[in-house]
Amino acid sequence: MDALLIPVFVLISLIVPVLFLALLLYAVPVRSAVTIVLQGKRQEQVLVISWGIFGIRTSGAGGSRLTEIRIADVTVLSHTGSIKQEKEAGNSTGIPETGTWSATYGDICEIVPAVRKMAGPVGSFGSAFWQQSRFVGASGTVTLGLGDPALTGEVCGMYWASRFVLLGSRIDIDLEPVFDRAVLEMDITVRMKVKHPLLVLLAGFRLAWHPAIREALRMALRQSHARAMV
């Protein structure tokens, strides 16, 4: 009898954590926030994705990018890199940058049918992601000057006239007019959340294992290898 209970306990010890993780993935939403700062020479983009106490924060400014992994707002791992180096690394497959490569007739003949086959599964994933996504809100400030006081006042007046509609849509952005010069500065944060991440993950697995997607990946690898051999 004891010998029969051992595999049962082993099976339970494997199933229970998986079910618990699945429950967490279903119940705990994934939240994201994108911040764009444009103030004079300062340009910064920040992306924060969090799930419960876990989070990833990546920010780019001045040609460098900082990526941090956080637990309960405490950084446990960080990496600093150059945006230029990342672009060069992303182009290390041997495919020239956009605008320097022209597809051959054979490439096009392969790509078009593949794109048609991918439309269905990609659309299904996009639909699942859209259904689970929620717009939380947008906030921040925008400083605007069009170089013409009358035009600046007209544009800002139209914005403030529609402010109550934007507030009803959870968009709370202050617009500050500047009448003596042309200027555009902003500090805006947009927040989104995925209500049930588990459903999006399941849709992503179905997308990744769809025959059309796998065939498209194999085709891309073949073409990349063929260009590298040229």
* Of 89 and 31, more confident: 31
Q: Could you read off the pLDDT of 46-75 as tens digits, one per residue?
A: 999 999 999 999 998 777 889 999 998 899
22 pLDDT exceeds 70? yes
Q: Report the predicted TM-score, pTM, of the whole model to 2 decimal places.
A: 0.74
The whole-number pLDDT of residue 93 equals 46
Domain boundaries, the chain: 30-92, 103-230
Two structure tokens written together for 34: 């994108």
Phi-psi region for residue 63, left (φ > 0), alpha (ψ -120 to 50) or beta?
A: left
- Cα(203)–Cα(210) distance, integer angstroms: 11
Q: Could you read off the pLDDT of 209-227 as tens digits, one per residue?
A: 988 888 888 887 877 776 6
The secondary element (H helix, E strand) that includes residue 20 is: helix 2-27
Q: Could you read off the pLDDT of 115-163 as tens digits, one per residue?
A: 788 888 899 999 999 999 999 999 999 999 999 999 999 999 999 999 8
The whole-number pLDDT of residue 137 equals 96
The whole-number pLDDT of residue 62 equals 73
Q: Are 135 and 171 in contact (CB under 8 A)?
A: no
When mean pLDDT is compared across 78-82, 157-161, 177-181, the lowest value belongs to 78-82
Strand ranges (E), the chain: 30-39, 42-51, 54-61, 64-71, 74-82, 133-146, 171-177, 182-194
The whole-number pLDDT of residue 51 equals 93
191 pLDDT exceeds 70? yes
195 pLDDT exceeds 60? yes
99 pLDDT exceeds 50? no
pLDDT band at 187 (very low <50, low <70, confident <90, very high): very high
Mean pLDDT of the chain, nearest integer: 84
**Average pLDDT rounded to a whole number, residues 32-44:** 90
- Cα(62)–Cα(44) distance, integer angstroms: 8
